[in-house]
Chains A and B, each alone.
Chain A
């Protein structure tokens, strides 16, 4: 029982960073209707820039974090310009493949910045695990959860209580109608990319500070964790992304504990496949219209 609770708590805490990654994917998908495969690589490159500073100049952790956020946002804007703005709106597949090749490009740039396989990443602070009765809680996990909650709260305020947030929601509802209403769609696209890069940068810092190391595989890892978490909850839904992230974290924590490391990813994928087959549309996504409804809507 103690194990079960401990795993669930660990899973929720680590899952909060999956939720942040999923939110990044879901915002881009909502605004663009296109998949940004370079999202994880964007965060990875930003983190590499910060780690480079850490490795060569031993600056304070907070400066490293600021550099990571700034360079993640810059890389995000680069991806937006090259893979999304420059490509026709109806060519979703071209944007996806373009973001994939740019992912490969960013990965090679990262290897040039820091040529070794792994580098240590500064932990936010050195602290012993906190003991709460029978449970152990890692301070890094608490930081992760707090950061995630703060980011989610800020995002919620932004999306629901500002003019730009309103424009963003209008665009994800119907881009053409939004532009007729005077929304500067190009600016909103750029803004949403900068925004999700910032969210991703925070998630990246939290995850890497917990792992205390960074490899070029981080891009792949972050992309697919974020995608899985988003799909579990359902595309285009912010609460869905949070639920999906937490669910993924808990599922991974339990399967790692009860079945072993080899089954951690396997059970996550089995869960994803089962949910998609049984509930097409994810747990909280917009319900997929049945064929009859779809047909009558078009008529």
Chain B
């Protein structure tokens, strides 16, 4: 594979984290316009860990994910009383606050005779872990997809577990969930924290893949795209957001020849798709049908001669 294909695939992998993060909140019935904040916090925290304090990459990813997750829990606790569009706009306001503060913050330390660290609007340069360790793009892509696979397995486990049912129940009727004796406050904060942590992993990887991050990348467009991916791919399974990301980034790369008309075509196609499938390609009904189809097959195979 050449570097171009690897870069596209890596981008699909990294953006999938933030799409999964928005998807997790969608299953609990919350529309967040602010997941880009946690992606950005993860990127800055993890970048600082390797570039400024020379910590190993795994520690850095853990730090990025925890910083993002904890911050998301704080915001989740503050926005507990909000729902619907009020929640969406509060998360948007928080994310823009983070972005605008990162545009001002300047914290640099000297490493090997050079100043390294976030430098306000100039961004955060020289997150050179890949070069220092001589990691190839291909190897880094395996790290990305390895972590993505772990997160996906966790999602699939969760969707079969009680926690997944609780989240879906919160999403369809939080009042009913509360009447069943569920501690909705705890579950909402937990969902916010998990979603923030997942976005943080993506950000941590992104910072090391591009070696350079700037606050402008984590603007509201990233957050709204993340939401759109879940809805295009389908809200029935954690594979939905991945399909959404792959369709968007894959399609835009595949049709480079109509440069300049790509969004006109793509926008129209997605609008038509949403008319036909308002809950995405793999929505709950289709996922259920697929599952019964697959299990019936395997049962038939087991019983057959």
Give chain A's interface residues, CB within 8 Å of chain B.
Answer: 29, 35, 37, 82-83, 86-88, 91, 93-98, 100-102, 104-105, 107-109, 111-112, 220, 224, 227-228, 231, 235, 262, 265-266, 269-270, 272-273, 276-277, 280-282, 288, 291, 294-295, 298
The answer to whether A87 and B275 touch (CB under 8 A), given A93-B231, A266-B97, is yes
Q: Could you say which residues of chain B place their CB within 8 Å of the CB of A94? A: 231, 274, 278-279
Judge whether A227 and B86 touch: CB under 8 Å: no
The answer to whether A269 and B100 touch (CB under 8 A), given A37-B224, A104-B267, is yes
Q: Could you say which residues of chain A place their CB within 8 Å of the CB of B293? A: none
Judge whether B228 and A276 touch: CB under 8 Å: no
Minimal beta-carbon separation of A97 from chain B (angstroms) = 5
- The verdict on B4 contacting chain A, using a C-beta distance below 8 Å, is no
> Which residue on chain B has the smallest CB distance to residue A111?
B260
Minimal beta-carbon separation of A233 from chain B (angstroms) = 12
Judge whether B89 and A276 touch: CB under 8 Å: yes
CB-contacts of B31-83 with A (<8 A): 31, 78-79, 81-83
Minimal beta-carbon separation of A122 from chain B (angstroms) = 27
Q: Could you say which residues of chain B place their CB within 8 Å of the CB of A101? A: 228, 266-267, 270-271
What CA separation (Å) do A288 and B83 show in the bound complex? Answer: 10
- Interface readout for B218-256 with A: 1 if CB under 8 Å, 0 if not? 001100100110011000000000000000000000000
Judge whether B175 and A298 touch: CB under 8 Å: yes
What CA separation (Å) do A17 and B105 show in the bound complex? Answer: 32
Judge whether A272 and B93 touch: CB under 8 Å: yes
Minimal beta-carbon separation of B116 from chain A (angstroms) = 23
Known: A91-B278, A95-B274, A100-B224. 11 other contacts (CB 8 A): A91-B279, A94-B274, A97-B228, A101-B271, A108-B263, A220-B221, A231-B85, A231-B89, A265-B96, A270-B97, A277-B82
Judge whether A269 and B96 touch: CB under 8 Å: yes
Which of A83, A220, A228, A231 lies at the interface centre, i.e. has the most chain B CB atoms within 10 A of its CB?
A: A231
- The verdict on B257 contacting chain A, using a C-beta distance below 8 Å, is no
Interchain residue pairs with CB less than 8 A apart (5): A82-B271, A111-B260, A277-B78, A288-B83, A291-B178
Minimal beta-carbon separation of B60 from chain A (angstroms) = 28
Q: Could you say which residues of chain A place their CB within 8 Å of the CB of B179? A: 295
What CA separation (Å) do A231 and B82 show in the bound complex? Answer: 12
Minimal beta-carbon separation of B36 from chain A (angstroms) = 14
